[in-house]
């Protein structure tokens, strides 16, 4: 018998682990609840989901200043974890509010919808909190598996199934790359713990070793896929278009934020010694991502597809912040992620309100005249579009200003020039939506607006956050800076 020690469960900080517990218990509770018949009008699934998300956020906020390393350093509770856990929970909550009526209207109101939503949130939390490549991979898989199914949730629709199929096949491929990269890194360094990888690299002749570099590159491919960076972006427009609109909003915000959280932790904790290797690669990817995303978005007439390409472009801006690195780059990325999540969620939330029953009316033509038919919705959509384009006084503007100024400080002038030019291009297609809403006559069959109180609350929340962070960015910025400190 070899000696071994049981991990003492009493010593675990339950508050720090609370988010994981609340989310997984919530997901399982939802599955069990399906056994109990409910009246068709009831929405207890959404209700339980909201409670679980609230409990998860509350639990990590309870110990927000603590720093805990659980399970042999695999799960880290620090400012970074708290920031992202709360972000994911709020994103999830907004998505639940948007889905509240949408899933009933489009008749996909099955209990598994919310269970999968919670599981993918759990995966995101794990990706942000993991300090170990194994748990990062498991978190990523958990998030992705749930999202594959959510994308194909309207299973009687051909485009939804096609989207899920494409997303699943390419996603499985990317997971393979990521896992292979992890295996090579383990072979090169002898550990999967990020802090230990950094310690190993700090004083070793391994730098420049092919195995290490190939491992790192494969890791970048895996993450590049999840955040939809060019050239790993092919799945994005199809998956975004085919998914139920509320799921599109949720994955465009949550999956991207989670991908960047894991990428930031890996690059800033484990790979500072290899900075000279990954910086140029990521710079090229960033420039390509911004340009391809924005230029292709110009050509789209389906707003969901357009927003998909726009989300690719935003991944490019975020990569600029990652390349800048350090405290400033990291906090710029966190700030931009928070801001981006809510303006994007808001835009998809508005789109989810359009159409009667299960029909989907999301082309630019369908939006014609919306600004006069529903001033509130038109105003909200306009703000989201302006914010995505980076026009003051919205949060998108503050995010871009901060991000590009950080990049200038880091000496990334060419990237900033590409980024600013791209932002100018992007304003064009964002304004096309606004122009259609206010300056075009609605067609023969104007789109029906399916108002619901919960969806209205979601619009108000996202709108308020987008405007608030536009004029009062300081709080969020300080939080972002404090959150990133723990990594460095």
Question: Interface mask (CB under 8 A) for another protein, residues 150-169, using x and -?
Answer: --xxxxx-------x-----
- For another protein, how many residues bind (rule: CB under 8 A)? 65
By the rule CB under 8 A, 71 interacts with another protein:
yes
Per CB under 8 A, the list member of 169, 209, 471, 474 interacting with another protein is: 209
Q: Kindly state the smallest distance separating residue 431's Cβ from another protein, in Å.
A: 37
The answer to whether the CB of 117 falls within 8 A of the CB of 102 is no
Query: What distance in Å separates the CA atoms of residue 270 and residue 131, rounded to the nearest whole number?
Result: 9
* Window of 23-31, 313-321, 396-404, 467-475 that interacts with another protein by CB under 8 A: 23-31
**Cβ nearer to another protein, comparing 120 with 310:** 120
* Closest of 381, 382, 399 to residue 390, by C-alpha: 399
Q: Which is nearer to another protein, 197 or 407 (CB)?
A: 197
Beta bridge partners of 302: 363
Could you say which of 149, 333, 388, 436 contacts another protein (CB under 8 A)?
Answer: 149
Residue 205 sits in the site that holds another protein (CB under 8 A): yes
Which residue lies nearer to another protein by CB, 48 or 391? Answer: 48
358 binds another protein (CB under 8 A): yes
Residue 7, interface with another protein (CB under 8 A)? Answer: yes
Site map for another protein, 113-132, x if CB under 8 A? --xx--x--x---x-----x
**Among 5, 11, 203, 444, interactor with another protein by CB under 8 A:** 5
Nearest CB to another protein, comparing residues 71 and 451: 71
Q: How far is the CB of 255 from another protein (least distance, A)?
A: 15
Is 11 or 208 the residue whose CB approaches another protein more closely? Answer: 208
DSSP conformation class of 448 = P
Q: In the set 86, 93, 108, 487, which binds another protein (CB under 8 A)?
A: 108
Cβ distance 70 to 16 under 8 Å? yes
Can you tell me which of 18, 79, 92, 111 binds another protein, judged by CB under 8 A? 111
Closer residue to another protein (CB): 96 or 146: 146
DSSP string, 61-124: HHTTT--EEETTTTEEESHHHHHHHHHHHHHHHHHHHHHHHHHHHTT---HHHHHHHHHHHHHH
Q: Is 199 in the site for another protein (CB under 8 A)?
A: no
Candidate ranges 28-36, 171-179, 252-260, 305-313; the one touching another protein (CB under 8 A): 28-36
What is the rounded distance in angstroms from the CA atom of residue 128 to the CA atom of residue 22? 16
Report d(CA 357, CA 301) in Å as an integer.
22
Which of 425, 427, 434, 433 has the alpha carbon at shortest distance from 388? Answer: 427
Q: How many CB atoms lie under 10 A from the CB of residue 451?
A: 13
CB 102 to another protein: min, Å: 14
Near another protein by CB under 8 A: residue from 55, 66, 195, 214? 214
> Of 208, 276, 441, 444, which one interacts with another protein (CB under 8 A)?
208
Q: Which residues bind another protein (CB under 8 A)?
A: 1-2, 4-7, 24, 27-28, 31, 34-35, 37-40, 70-72, 74-75, 104, 107-112, 115-116, 119, 122, 126, 132, 134-135, 138-139, 141-142, 145-146, 148-149, 152-156, 164, 187-191, 200, 204-206, 208-211, 214, 358
């Amino acid at each position: 018998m070899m000696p071994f020690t049981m991990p003492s469960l009493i010593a675990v900080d339950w508050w720090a682990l609370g988010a994981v517990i609340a989310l997984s218990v919530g997901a399982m509770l939802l599955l069990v609840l399906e056994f109990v018949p409910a009246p068709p009008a009831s929405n207890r699934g959404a209700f339980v989901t909201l409670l679980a998300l609230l409990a998860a956020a509350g639990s990590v906020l309870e110990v927000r200043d603590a720093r805990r390393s659980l399970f042999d350093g695999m799960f880290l509770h620090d400012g970074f974890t708290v920031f992202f856990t709360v972000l994911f929970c709020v994103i999830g909550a907004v998505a639940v509010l948007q889905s509240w009526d949408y899933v009933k209207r489009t008749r996909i109101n099955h209990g598994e919808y919310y269970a999968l939503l919670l599981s993918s949130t759990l995966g995101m939390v794990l990706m942000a909190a993991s300090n170990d490549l194994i748990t990062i991979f498991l978190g990523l898989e958990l998030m992705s598996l749930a999202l594959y199914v959510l994308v194909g949730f309207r299973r009687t629709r051909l485009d939804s199934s096609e989207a899920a199929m494409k997303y699943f096949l390419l996603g499985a491929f990317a997971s393979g790359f990521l896992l292979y990269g992890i295996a090579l890194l383990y072979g090169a360094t002898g550990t999967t713990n990020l802090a230990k990888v950094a310690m190993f690299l700090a004083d070793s002749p391994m730098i420049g070793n092919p195995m290490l570099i190939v491992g790192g590159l494969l890791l970048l491919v895996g993450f590049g896929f999840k955040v939809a960076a060019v050239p790993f972006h092919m799945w994005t427009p199809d998956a975004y278009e085919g998914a139920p609109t509320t799921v599109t909003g949720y994955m465009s915000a949550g999956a991207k934020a989670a991908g960047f959280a894991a990428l930031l932790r890996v690059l800033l904790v484990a790979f500072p010694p290899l900075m000279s290797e990954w910086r140029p690669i990521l710079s090229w990817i960033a420039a390509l991502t911004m340009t391809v995303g924005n230029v292709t978005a110009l050509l789209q007439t389906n707003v969901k597809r357009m927003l998909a390409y726009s989300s690719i472009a935003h991944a490019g801006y975020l990569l600029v912040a990652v390349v800048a690195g350090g405290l400033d780059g990291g906090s710029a990325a966190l700030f931009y992620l928070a801001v981006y999540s809510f303006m994007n969620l808001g835009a998809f939330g508005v789109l989810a309100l359009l159409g009667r029953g299960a029909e989907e009316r999301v082309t630019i033509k369908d939006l014609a005249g919306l600004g006069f038919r529903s001033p509130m919705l038109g105003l909200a959509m306009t703000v989201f579009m302006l914010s995505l384009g980076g026009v003051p006084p919205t949060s998108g503007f503050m995010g871009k200003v901060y991000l590009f100024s950080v990049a200038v400080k880091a000496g990334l002038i060419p990237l900033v020039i590409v980024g600013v030019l791209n932002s100018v291009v992007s304003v064009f297609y964002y304004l096309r939506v606004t122009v259609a809403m206010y300056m075009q006559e609605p067609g023969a069959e104007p789109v029906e607006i399916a108002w619901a109180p919960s969806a209205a609350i979601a619009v108000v929340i996202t709108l308020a956050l987008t405007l608030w962070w536009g004029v009062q960015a300081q709080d969020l910025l300080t939080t972002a800076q404090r959150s990133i400190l723990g990594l460095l």
